[in-house]
Amino acid sequence: MTRTTFVTGADRGLGFALCIGLLEQGWEVFAGQYLPEWHELSALSGKYPGRLHIVPLDVSSQESVGAAARGECQISWANEVHNVCGIIWKALFMKLPTIEGKNK
């Protein structure tokens, strides 16, 4: 029986590497794609036809998440879900105090 997973943030970095590893192990992978202009994921689907399914997904958009949840990605069951997406808030770029109480 083929194991199935859904990976968010599959365009690049850790999510992309995770997709490769899972595909190499025989998994069927539904890959959430935020950056359609990032072509590596599309190229990877050519290497794993029928096992890598690209799903347009912006986790910061209720409409996009809803489209995936309604089954537009044609997934009925997943053994695992890997949430590897990143959301950056303005606060992450603010100067934070160090342990000594000084700003960096």
Would you list the domain boundaries of the chain? 4-93
- How much is the pTM? 0.75
What is the rounded CA–CA span in Å between residue 70 and residue 46? 26
Q: What string of DSSP letters covers 22-89?
A: HHHTT-EEEEEES-TT-THHHHHHHHSTTTEEEEE--TT-HHHHHHIIIIIT-----SEEEE------
CATH topology of domain 4-93: Rossmann fold (3.40.50)
Residue-level pLDDT at 103? 44
Q: What is the pLDDT of residues 76-89, one digit of tens each?
A: 667 778 888 765 55
14-71 pLDDT, tens digit each = 899 999 999 999 999 999 999 889 899 999 999 999 999 999 998 888 898 888 777 6
